[in-house]
Amino acid sequence: MNTDTRDSILQDISEFLGDDLLEVSLEQTYPLLRISRNKLYETCRFLKNTLHFIYLNEIIGADRFTSEDRFEVIYHLISLRDRQRIFVKVYVDEEEPLLPTVTHIWKSANWNEREVYDMFGIRFEDHPDLRRIFLPEDFKYYPLRKEFPLLGVPGSLEMPNTTPDHD
Amino acid sequence: MQFEKQISKKKPTYFREHQEALYKSLEDKHATVEIDKSDPLATRMTLNMGPQHPATHGVLRVLMELDGEVITKCRLDTGYLHRGIEKMAENKTYQEFMPYTDRMDYLSPYSNNVALCMAVERIANIEIPERASYIRMICCELARISSHLLWLGTMIMDAGALSYFLWTFREREKIYDIFDDVAGHRFTVSHSRIGGVNNDFTPVAVEKIRKFVKEFPDELRGWHKTLDRNRIFVDRNNGVGAIDHEEAIAIGLAGPSLRATGIAYDIRTFEPYLHYDEMDFTVPTRTEGDNLARYYCRMEEMAESIRIIEQCFDKMPKKGPIRVDDAKKSYPSKDEVYYSMEGLIHDFMMTDTGVCPPAGAESYHAIEAPKGELGFYIQSDGTGHPWRLKINSPSFSNLQGLETVLDGEMVADTVVIIGGMDPVMGDSDK
């Protein structure tokens, strides 16, 4: 990975964000930025239009299991021109798990946001089609939250009766 | 009466809310409601394909709205194979979780093993011995050939020719035999270990791989001969499911489907891992972005894989350790376990606790699996279990793209396009 390009990209981002860039971690192979929630949409647009991060690879949700800012959502972006990967992280509060959608910037965010919604219950404002992606709509829990039991919740889904002679 | 009740989409028997939401979403996909008054023949209909349809390669469900024979819009319903393996990963040690990755993309289990092991090695700072990385490369390329062979057989079967399925499976059988000798399992290999691989190649396995590498290009040439200029095959695939490169990037296609649109994005050259930077190979690309382009990309990739395996044999050290010799990072060898107390304790500790990456670390590592970028994002809390493990699976990205690709295509081409995209539901549904 070209560190000069990476540094100049990080420089551009920090100039654009100023105080809203809360944390920069370069310990791992790829830069991981934490930004403030209310600048998320502008930052994503800036990253795509100015810094050429045109390929949204995935959106990762995680449960930090702390009292405030319980969830985090990480956007994994690739710039094919500069051969760079970047991870942008925002914290989401448990009381109001709501984020602006980025489907209008990257179309591929659609299913990825639906997956985060399905697994953690984080809602995306203005999403064109916010339904659960893996589990049926009738399921009322969010399975990747830490309090969800590993064995599941008995009776949470109505299943066909498999005994041969029921009514 | 009873029958009507069962098939009614207004009153489904199970998962009522889910079915209603899905049909509603199909209705307002493009947000504009067209009222078609010039439709006296009532050609508009909603068609539900899957999840048990044999041509959807698993349990994919496609909901299509048709105007005559043209798909006006479609929705994919996934999740029929959702097993929650990300949740399971949080309750297992890293090594314990590795066999579960075999069951993700079950057509190329070796690549999945390597992807997970390399992600853990990156977060826990483990360097693997050189011979082990060559063994991994050889087996990954074999897995790529095996996966592409299944794609070739089933895709051509979807296009109408049955015999290729038998011919490709004859070649896959040879790869299964190789894996049987290498790993002790034919299908779910679980051969890779954190810090190396389980065991070295046996002389029989080496001989078998060399034989396969020698004979397979002829076989491939034969298929090229019968398919490239085959009028039926070309007509069936040319211009079908076409997508341009800008749209492909926007909807996040991965792997050969993306490369068929002209974007040479391959992790093996984008961010070389193992020893791919020392290898001489090309990344096959096409610019048409249709099903025929995907066919050429995958066929050429198989030939490149053979070249890579040959180079690996040339550059591979003849002898050497195949697993890192550090009891805190990897399993000790079986000789140590059987004949020394230390070794037994270390083996027990590895099984019980395993590798513990530093607390608070989070990292990502991706490899080029046969179907595209397969990556693992791991967050560690310092224990032997991952705090969060996110799988970035190529089939998920490709299926999302399929929803756009299918729009405006003929309904008869659906199965060919699904075959050309090569999704595996175990990979997509996690």
DSSP B106-173: TT-HHHHHHHHHHHHHHHTT-PPPHHHHHHHHHHHHHHHHHHHHHHHHHHHHHHT--HHHHHHHHHHH
Query: Residue B8: what pLDDT?
Result: 52
Domain end among B354, B369, B395: B354
| pLDDT of residue B38 exceeding 80 | no
Q: How many domains are there within chain A? A: 1
Query: Residue B31: what pLDDT?
Result: 43
Burial class from Cβ neighbours inside 10 Å (0-12, 13-18, 19+) for residue A148 reads: middle
Same domain, yes or no: B381 and B279: yes
Query: Residue B175: what pLDDT?
Result: 92
Query: Residue B34: what pLDDT?
Result: 47
Query: Residue B41: what pLDDT?
Result: 60
Among the partner residues A61, A107, A143, nearest to B251 by beta-carbon distance: A107
**Angle CA B85–B88–B92, to nearest 5:** 130
Give me the residue label for tokens 């067209």. Answer: B34
pLDDT tier at B300 (50, 70, 90 boundaries)?
Answer: very high
Per-residue pLDDT tens digits for B354-375: 888 888 888 999 999 999 999 9
> B79 and A111: CB-CB below 8 Å?
no
B117 in a structural domain: yes
Same domain, yes or no: B333 and B394: no
Query: Residue B396: what pLDDT?
Result: 92
> B22 and A131: CB-CB below 8 Å?
yes
Q: What are the Cα distances from residue B277, in Å, to A55, B271, B273, B298?
A: 23, 9, 7, 21
- Whichever domain contains A40, its CATH number is 3.30.460.80
Q: What is the mean pLDDT of residues B10-37?
A: 65
Q: What is the mean pLDDT of residues B319-344?
A: 86
A132 in a structural domain: no
Query: Residue B426: what pLDDT?
Result: 87
pLDDT tier at B11 (50, 70, 90 boundaries)?
Answer: low
For A161, nearest residue in chain B (alpha carbons): B14
Predicted model pTM: 0.88
Give the C-alpha separation, B10 to A65, whole Å.
Answer: 40
Give the C-alpha separation, B216 to B174, whole Å.
Answer: 10
Secondary structure, 3-state, B176-220: HHHHHHHHCCCCCCCCEECCEECCCCCHHHHHHHHHHHHHHHHHH
Better-predicted residue by pLDDT, B10 or B219: B219
Nearest to B362 by CA among A34, A30, A109: A30
> B18 and A150: CB-CB below 8 Å?
no
Per-residue pLDDT tens digits for B144-202: 999 999 999 988 888 888 888 899 999 999 999 999 999 888 888 888 889 889 888 88
Same domain, yes or no: B250 and B335: no
pLDDT tier at B209 (50, 70, 90 boundaries)?
Answer: very high
| pLDDT of residue B6 exceeding 70 | no
Domain end among B337, B354, B371: B354
Same domain, yes or no: B226 and B257: yes
Q: What is the mean pLDDT of residues A119-140?
A: 89
| pLDDT of residue B306 exceeding 90 | yes
Longest dimension (CA), chain B: 84
Better-predicted residue by pLDDT, B300 or B430: B300
| pLDDT of residue B9 exceeding 60 | no
Query: Residue B4: what pLDDT?
Result: 47
Domain end among B354, B369, B400: B354
**Domain housing B335:** 327-354
B28 in a structural domain: no
From chain B, the residues in CB contact with A144 under 8 A are 86-87
pLDDT tier at B7 (50, 70, 90 boundaries)?
Answer: very low
For B125, nearest residue in chain A (alpha carbons): A28
A67 in a structural domain: yes
Across the A:B interface, residue pairs with CB atoms under 8 Å apart total 114
Give the C-alpha separation, B182 to B204, whole Å.
Answer: 9
pLDDT tier at A67 (50, 70, 90 boundaries)?
Answer: confident
Better-predicted residue by pLDDT, A166 or B347: B347
N- to C-terminal Cα separation, chain A: 65
**Angle CA B11–B17–B21, to nearest 5:** 100
Q: Tell me, yes or no, if A80 comes closer than 8 A to chain B by beta carbon.
A: yes
Among the partner residues B263, B364, B429, nearest to A80 by beta-carbon distance: B263
Rg (CA), chain A: 19
Query: Residue B10: what pLDDT?
Result: 53
Best interface-test mutation with B: which of A1, A33, A111 has the largest number of B CBs within 10 A? A111
B5 in a structural domain: no
Best interface-test mutation with A: which of B100, B249, B373 has the largest number of A CBs within 10 A? B249
- Whichever domain contains B177, its CATH number is 1.10.645.10
Same domain, yes or no: B306 and B385: yes
Contact in structure between B104 and B85 (CB atoms under 8 Å) = yes
Same domain, yes or no: B274 and B349: no
> A135 and B82: CB-CB below 8 Å?
yes
Contact in structure between B290 and B208 (CB atoms under 8 Å) = no
pLDDT tier at B32 (50, 70, 90 boundaries)?
Answer: very low
Query: Residue A1: what pLDDT?
Result: 58
Same domain, yes or no: B340 and B387: no
Query: Residue B20: what pLDDT?
Result: 79
**Domain housing A118:** 3-125
Same domain, yes or no: B255 and B337: no
Same domain, yes or no: B335 and B366: no
Query: Residue B37: what pLDDT?
Result: 58
Q: Tell me, yes or no, if A151 comes closer than 8 A to chain B by beta carbon.
A: no
Q: What is the mean pLDDT of residues A117-138?
A: 89
Q: How many domains are there within chain B? A: 2
Query: Residue B302: what pLDDT?
Result: 92
Q: What percent of chain B has pLDDT over 90?
A: 33
Same domain, yes or no: B280 and B337: no
Residues 140-199 of B with CB under 8 A from A: none
Nearest to A1 by CA among A55, A70, A82: A82
Q: Where are the beta strands (DSSP E) in B282-404?
A: 362-369, 372-380, 386-392
A134 in a structural domain: no
Better-predicted residue by pLDDT, A60 or B32: A60
Contact in structure between B423 and B60 (CB atoms under 8 Å) = yes
Q: Tell me, yes or no, if A107 comes closer than 8 A to chain B by beta carbon.
A: yes
A95 in a structural domain: yes
Q: What percent of chain B has pLDDT over 70?
A: 93
Same domain, yes or no: B209 and B267: yes
Same domain, yes or no: B309 and B250: yes
Give the C-alpha separation, B226 to B166, whole Å.
Answer: 15
Among the partner residues A54, A76, A110, nearest to B400 by beta-carbon distance: A110
Q: What is the mean pLDDT of residues B17-42?
A: 63
Task: For residue A10, give both structure tokens.
Answer: 């990080």
pLDDT tier at B29 (50, 70, 90 boundaries)?
Answer: low
